């Protein structure tokens, strides 16, 4: 019954008027910056840190956490409406979400994303409360070998993201991996493919790449084909999902929530894999996988739930171990230290009001988000009615400001233009950018952990099969490979026959 | 409405000739940009935001933090080196300012000539830590063990040029042994693998280790400062524990571009010293496991001399390790 | 000249091969190391080899299977939008947010097939006022609003 008492303690902290107000402020700011293309939670939280100096630590952290998961909600809105993923985790949402919008079902896509996220958020909160401390210990047994094997699984899953040619998808994955190697070598500091541009020493920024490849390329494509864009502002069928939609989505939401909750706990930023894993799963178990990429609602519901569940459970490594799994959590560490709380395994015992208050606030925040977002759907959908000649310069302005403020440097802005060109070229030649983005995110993690595993094992490759979790993951990877490759081979054969 | 908006609007319609050439006596008449050459949220950023907030009060103008991350802090330093020498662009950098002189063979600026010091801010001590079931009882045993098992022991760090990398190099050269170093991208993942027992040793700032030490997830052997650290009173210094040549701190300093007028530097120095005397700053620094520098170190002369000394001190250590960041 | 059967795959494949060769050239001075003890050059070059293989495969396929015809490129619109972005990148620091934002809006609107300048002017002023209030003022981002003389 400890947990009930703890949750009660947390609720009593989080439900104080000032903390509810801060939570609301946080999720509002988060939704706003999430919706604006190019502006991410990292820049916003960094800028708002000084404002929190004068707040109570619990209130400050509740607000900052609200910005983080609020931005996850808002990010899916932009992904669905204008095909612009602002975060690594909303790339998958563009695949089917934007297709739904093109079919006049933007309202249903937004609503199912919000409802799925809410459900996932509620479950993940309970998971954190009940299992957090235990699971985090298990998660810490993940070493370099395990992370490497996990990334292998992720990369094989990446091929499933493409709906066209498998060879082209593999080529895109390899190019994504290559882009991921740009920057200083982790071990020797040697510059790889940086062309003596100092700004590239830390690698290419994800936002820069995603906005260029997806957003800018999409804008130019819309400009050259006004008639296709026209579909978007004409018939909009129903703002809410139908019962059939909900029946179809619910199992996907359940599976997505489970996957997201598990992956989010990994301190090595497992949450980034969650939406991809969910999309792969949904596409593979669907009766008719061909619907995916053409507006399948499960392709929105599953990944969005996984995304939000992962976003919440990624607080577990921070709160129970004191280890930040991603850049936003690293900022939360900064916020905690500024307030005199040194993150570590003792935070839960030494600051129970903070720990449980934050957890309870996440549930309140999710409730606020769904209450805010459902009525907003009408407004967002109406945004599509704004003539494109006005909408796209506005998108460009937000993208450019957002990218510029990443490092306050012109180089990032120029890179957006470069990747915009690449993205347009890929569209024209029939290559799909989604697998490339996933590979870009996973590649550095994979190479690092591979090299680290070899360093620790003194060059013994057996570590990958001697450690049970790593072995298990590699077996999953093999199974997945079979699932991916076999149908492709069969299809190729059929095509070959048809040709004769 | 912000003052700079108003002032700049005036400039636009031509009523104010130049903002850049404002008299040094009036300084500051507009917000000051403090460049932090690292991402927001890290330990250096935290120090800058604490100091900047307090300096704003003394100077009567907002001190805006601008994070210009990348290339081990050299991008941010380069921006300040190239900025106007009017006191409106200042740099807050740590020990990496000095080590970059050797770590980077082609720096876009000259060290130490392109900068003028304002003062030292704080000297964050380092801790030598190990996974919690590491066999050695104290630092002496650790050194004996490491020497005997140098093929087995692994030393983690947070990447080339990071505080933990520097301290690790100094540790290895101090006890004359070479270990397998395992690099990570940042302190978080390195700490995760140390707490999870995947790697054996690390040397990192108290800012990053205190929480884990107090939580019992890692073992601490020594602090690398001259005196014991108030937040870890039971931990001996390296001198007490038998490794006197492993002494290192992550010192932070405030710089302006060279040729900044002396009265401007003096105003900044005054504001920095006032910040270091601020009780809330003292308290926050204590939480971070460090303390403000004494007033005689928070001066241009002290920082200029220290920067030179540190450049000379690290050059042989880095050259011996043979690791360069470019 | 006979029409190419699958120009998308052919050109894509050739570009991949070019990318692979470029990578080889650029990473020539990086140490390779061994599989068990990789140097900085190992992973990029391994990828370059695989990318090259995929490129060859695509070129080969393009000789045997038909594909859709190559779409026309709208070079003008592409240049305007990308140019607008690049100009913004280089002007935002010296000219400030308002002026460089205005340039971005004007240049990109030139690419719209149905631009109406009066409408764009009104909308642009509102947009710039909004972003100025939001980013430098409310969020405190270090962006200059006006040019500094």
* Contact check, Cβ <8 Å, C141/A220: no
Angle at B311 between CA B306 and CA B312, to 5 degrees: 100
Mean confidence (pLDDT) of chain C: 88
Instruction: Give the CATH fold of the B31-123+250-321 domain.
Output: D-Maltodextrin-Binding Protein; domain 2 (3.40.190)
pLDDT value at residue B11: 43
* A342 inside 8 A of chain B by CB: yes
Beta pairing, strands B180-183 & B154-157: parallel
In chain B, ranges of CATH 3.40.190.10 domains: 125-241
Cross-chain residue pair B8–C96, CB shorter than 8 Å: yes
For residue B28, say if its preceding peptide bond is cis, omega within 30 degrees of 0.
yes
Q: Using CA atoms, how far apart are residues C85 and A420, in angstroms rounded to an integer?
A: 10
> Is residue C148 a part of any domain in this protein?
no
Determine whether B1 is exposed, middle or buried from the number of CB atoms within 10 Å of its CB (0-12, 13-18, 19+): exposed
CA distance A353 to chain C (A): 29
Q: What is the mean pLDDT of residues A73-96?
A: 86
Taking CB atoms and an 8 Å cutoff, what residues of chain B touch A142?
Answer: 196
| CB contact A266 to B (< 8 Å) | no
Whether residue C59 is found in the same domain as residue C105: no
Domain count, chain A: 1
B65 touches chain C (CB under 8 A): yes
pLDDT, residue B10, reads: 43
Do residues C60 and C84 both lie within one domain?
A: no
**What's the domain count of chain C?**
2
Judged by CB atoms closer than 8 Å, whether chains meet at A413 and C58 is answered as no
> Quick check: A429 and C30 CB within 8 A?
no
Question: Does A447 sit within 8 Å of C112, measured CB to CB?
Answer: no
How far, in Å, CA of A90 to CA of A87, rounded?
6
C118 near A CB under 8 A: no
Q: Do A338 and B217 touch (CB under 8 A)?
A: no
C137 touches chain B (CB under 8 A): yes
Residue environment code for A213-246, b if the CB has 16+ CB neighbours within 10 A, otherwise e:
bbbbbbbbbbbbeeeebeebbeebeebebeeebb
Q: Phi and psi dihedrals of B269, rounded to 5?
A: -60, -45
Specify the pTM.
Answer: 0.83
Do C82 and C108 have their domain in common? yes
Q: Tell me the C-alpha distance between A302 and A307, whole Å.
A: 9
Q: What is the pLDDT of residue B320?
A: 80
Mutation target among C74, C89, C144 for the A interface, most CBs of A within 10 A? C89
Provide the pLDDT for residue A490. Answer: 61
Alpha helices in B149-299 (DSSP H): 163-174, 187-195, 206-214, 238-241, 262-277, 279-287
Closest partner residue to B2 among C96, C137, C148, by Cβ? Answer: C137
Q: What is the pLDDT of residues B201-247, one digit of tens each?
A: 999 988 788 888 988 889 999 999 888 888 888 999 999 998 888 88
In tens, the pLDDT along B278-292 reads 888 888 888 777 888
As a whole number, mean pLDDT of residues C35-44 equals 85
Indicate the range of B32-36, B73-77, C102-106 predicted with least confidence. Answer: B73-77
Q: DSSP letter at C57?
A: H
Helix (H, G, I), strand (E, B) or coil at A92: helix
**How many Å apart are CA B70 and CA C111, to the nearest integer?**
35
pLDDT in tens, B133-183: 999 989 999 999 999 998 899 999 988 888 888 899 889 988 888 899 898
- Is the minimum CB–CB distance between A43 and chain C shorter than 8 Å? yes
Question: Which band of pLDDT confidence, cut at 50, 70 and 90, is reported for residue B20?
Answer: very low
State the smallest CA–CA distance between residue A95 and chain B in angstroms. Answer: 31
In this complex, do C104 and A429 lie within 8 Å of one another by their Cβ atoms?
no
State which fold the B125-241 domain adopts. Answer: D-Maltodextrin-Binding Protein; domain 2 (3.40.190)
Q: What is the pLDDT of residues B42-94, one digit of tens each?
A: 778 888 988 998 898 888 888 888 887 777 788 888 889 888 888 889 999 99
Segment A486-495 shows an average pLDDT of 60
Please tell me which of the candidates B8, B17, B64 has its beta carbon nearest to residue C145: B8
Residue C124 in any domain: the answer is: yes
CB crowding B216-244: b at 16 or more within 10 Å, else e: ebbbbbbbbbeebbebbeebbbbbebbbe
One domain for residues C83 and C47: no
Mean pLDDT of C23-41: 86
Q: Which of B70, B159, B192 sits opposite A267 (nearest CB)?
A: B192
Q: Do B19 and C149 touch (CB under 8 A)?
A: yes
Name the percent of chain A in helix, strand, coil, to the closest 5: 80, 0, 20
Confirm if A171 and C54 have CB atoms less than 8 A apart.
Answer: yes
Query: For residue C120, is it within any domain?
Result: yes
Report how far residue A187's alpha carbon sits from residue A189's, in angstroms, rounded to the nearest whole number.
6
Arithmetic mean of pLDDT, A267-286: 85
Q: Is residue C146 one of the residues assigned to a domain?
A: no
- The answer to whether residue A49 neighbours chain C at the CB level (below 8 Å) is no
Domain with C131 in it: 75-138
Select from A43, A104, A93 the least CA-distant residue to A68. Answer: A43
Query: In this structure, what token pair is assigned to residue A132?
Result: 């957090």
Q: Where are the alpha helices (DSSP H) in A339-387?
A: 347-350, 352-383
| Pairwise CA distance, residues C52 & A249, whole Å | 41
pLDDT at B139: 92
User: Are the beta carbons of C124 and A185 separated by less than 8 Å?
Assistant: no
- What range defines the domain where residue A245 resides? 2-499
**Of the partner residues C12, C61, C109, the one whose CB lies closest to the CB of residue A393:** C109
CA-nearest residue of chain A to C105? A393
- Is residue C70 situated within a structural domain? no
The SS3 call for residue B82 is helix
CA pair distance C8, C21, nearest whole angstrom:
20
Residue pLDDT, tens place only, A195-221:
888 778 778 888 889 889 988 998 998
ipTM above 0.90? yes
In A, minimum Cα distance to B287 occurs at A340
Of the candidate ranges A263-277, A339-353, B2-16, B196-210, the one whose mean pLDDT is the lowest: B2-16
Is residue C44 located within the same domain as residue C92? Answer: no
Chain A, chain C: beta-carbon pairs less than 8 Å apart: 195
Average pLDDT rounded to a whole number, residues A292-298: 90
How does pLDDT run across A234-248, given as a tens digit for each residue? 566 667 888 888 899
Tell me the average pLDDT of chain A.
Answer: 84
Residues of chain B with CATH 3.40.190.150: 31-123+250-321
The answer to whether position C25 is within a domain reads: yes
Chains in contact with C, counting 3 or more C-beta pairs less than 8 Å apart as contact: A, B
% of chain C beyond a pLDDT of 90? 57
Separation between Cα atoms, residue A58 and residue A128, nearest integer Å: 17
pLDDT of residue C72: 84
**Chain B residues with CB-CB distance to C96 below 8 A:** 8
C131 found inside a domain: yes
Closest CB to A189: pick one of B43, B212, B326.
B326
- Which of C25, C83, C88, C115 to mutate against chain A (most A CBs within 10 Å)? C88
> Cα–Cα distance between B243 and B222 in angstroms, integer?
9
């Amino acid at each position: 019954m400890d947990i009930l008492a703890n949750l009660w303690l947390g609720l009593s902290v989080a439900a104080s008027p000032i903390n509810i107000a801060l939570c609301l402020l946080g999720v509002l700011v988060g939704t706003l910056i999430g919706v604006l293309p190019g502006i991410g939670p990292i820049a916003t939280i960094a800028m708002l840190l000084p404002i929190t100096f004068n707040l109570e630590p619990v209130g400050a952290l509740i607000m900052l956490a609200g910005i983080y998961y609020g931005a996850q909600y808002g990010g899916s809105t932009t992904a669905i409406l204008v095909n612009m993923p602002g975060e690594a985790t909303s790339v998958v949402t563009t695949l089917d979400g934007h297709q739904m919008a093109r079919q006049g079902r933007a309202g249903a896509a937004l609503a199912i994303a919000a409802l799925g996220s809410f459900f996932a958020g509620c479950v993940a909160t309970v998971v954190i409360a009940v299992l957090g401390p235990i699971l985090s210990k298990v998660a810490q047994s993940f070493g370099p070998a395990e992370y490497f094997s996990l990334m292998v699984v992720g990369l094989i899953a990446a091929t499933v993201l493409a709906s066209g040619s498998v060879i082209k998808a593999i080529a895109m994955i390899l190019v994504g991996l290559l882009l991921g190697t740009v920057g200083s070598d982790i071990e020797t500091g040697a510059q790889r493919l940086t062309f003596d541009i100092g700004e590239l020493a830390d690698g290419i920024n994800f936002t820069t790449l995603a906005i260029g490849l997806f957003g800018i390329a999409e804008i130019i494509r819309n400009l050259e084909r006004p008639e296709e864009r026209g579909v978007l502002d004409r018939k909009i069928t129903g703002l809410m999902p139908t019962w059939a939609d909900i029946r179809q989505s619910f199992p996907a939401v359940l599976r997505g929530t489970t996957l997201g909750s598990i992956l989010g706990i990994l301190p090595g930023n497992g949450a980034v894999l969650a939406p991809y894993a969910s999309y792969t799963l949904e596409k593979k178990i669907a009766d008719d996988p061909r619907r995916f990429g053409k507006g399948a609602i499960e392709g929105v519901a599953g990944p969005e739930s996984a995304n939000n569940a992962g976003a919440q459970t990624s607080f577990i490594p921070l709160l129970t171990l004191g280890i930040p799994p991603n850049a936003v959590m690293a900022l939360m560490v900064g916020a905690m230290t500024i307030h005199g709380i040194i993150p570590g395994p003792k935070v839960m015992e030494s600051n129970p009001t903070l720990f449980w208050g934050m957890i309870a606030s996440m549930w309140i925040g999710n409730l606020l988000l769904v209450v805010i977002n459902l009525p907003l759907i009408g407004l967002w959908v109406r945004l599509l009615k704004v003539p494109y000649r006005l909408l796209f310069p506005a998108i460009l302005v937000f993208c450019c400001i957002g990218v510029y403020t990443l490092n306050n440097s012109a180089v990032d802005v120029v890179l957006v233009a470069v990747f915009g060109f690449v993205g347009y070229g890929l569209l024209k030649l029939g290559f799909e950018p989604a697998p490339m983005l996933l590979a870009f995110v996973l590649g550095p993690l994979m190479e690092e952990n591979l090299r680290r595993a070899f360093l620790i094992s003194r060059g013994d490759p057996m570590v990958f099969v001697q450690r049970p979790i790593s072995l298990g993951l590699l077996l999953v990877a093999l199974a997945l490979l079979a699932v991916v490759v076999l149908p492709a081979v069969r299809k190729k054969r059929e095509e070959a026959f048809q040709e004769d | 409405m912000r003052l700079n908006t108003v002032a700049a609007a005036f400039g636009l319609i031509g009523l104010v000739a130049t903002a850049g050439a404002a008299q040094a006596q009036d300084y500051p008449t507009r917000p000051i940009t403090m460049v932090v050459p690292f991402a927001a949220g890290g330990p250096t950023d935290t120090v800058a935001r604490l100091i900047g907030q307090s300096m704003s009060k003394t100077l009567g103008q907002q001190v805006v933090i601008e994070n210009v991350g990348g290339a081990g802090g050299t991008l941010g330093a380069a921006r300040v080196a190239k900025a106007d020498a009017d006191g409106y662009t200042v740099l807050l950098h740590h020990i990496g300012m000095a080590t970059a002189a050797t770590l980077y063979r082609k720096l876009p600026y000259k060290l130490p000539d392109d900068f003028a010091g304002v003062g030292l801010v704080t000297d964050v001590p380092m801790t030598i830590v190990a996974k919690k079931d590491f066999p050695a009882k104290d630092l002496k045993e650790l050194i004996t063990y490491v020497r005997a098992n140098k093929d087995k022991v692994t030393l983690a760090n947070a990447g080339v040029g990071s505080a933990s990398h520097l301290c690790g190099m100094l540790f290895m050269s101090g006890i004359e042994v070479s270990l397998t170093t395992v690099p990570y991208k940042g302190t978080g993942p390195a700490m995760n693998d140390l707490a999870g027992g995947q790697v054996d040793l690390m040397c990192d700032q108290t800012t990053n280790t205190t929480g884990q030490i107090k939580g019992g997830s890692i073992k601490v052997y020594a602090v690398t400062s001259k005196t014991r650290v108030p937040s870890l009173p039971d931990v001996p210094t390296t001198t007490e524990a038998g490794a006197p040549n492993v002494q290192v701190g992550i010192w932070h300093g405030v710089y302006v571009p060279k040729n900044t007028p002396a009265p401007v530097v003096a105003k900044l120095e005054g504001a920095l010293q006032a910040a270091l005397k601020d009780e809330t700053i003292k308290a926050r620094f204590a939480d971070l496991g460090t303390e403000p520098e004494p007033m005689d170190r928070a001066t241009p002369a002290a920082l200029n001399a220290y920067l030179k000394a540190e450049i000379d001190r690290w050059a042989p250590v880095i050259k011996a390790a043979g690791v360069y960041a470019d | 000249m006979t029409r190419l059967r699958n120009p998308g795959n052919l050109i894509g494949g050739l570009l991949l091969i070019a990318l692979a060769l470029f990578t080889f050239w650029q990473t020539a001075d990086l140490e390779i190391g061994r599989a068990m003890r990789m140097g900085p050059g190992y992973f990029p070059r391994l990828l370059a080899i695989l990318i090259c293989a995929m490129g060859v495969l695509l070129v080969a396929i393009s000789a045997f299977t038909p594909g859709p015809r190559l779409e026309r490129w709208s070079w003008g619109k592409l240049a305007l939008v990308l140019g607008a972005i690049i100009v913004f990148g280089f002007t935002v620091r010296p000219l400030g947010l308002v002026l460089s934002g205005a340039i971005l809006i004007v240049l990109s609107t030139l690419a719209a097939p149905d631009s109406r300048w009066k409408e764009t002017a009104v909308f642009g002023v509102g947009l710039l006022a909004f972003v100025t209030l939001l980013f430098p003022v409310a969020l405190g981002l270090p962006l200059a609003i006006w040019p500094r003389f």
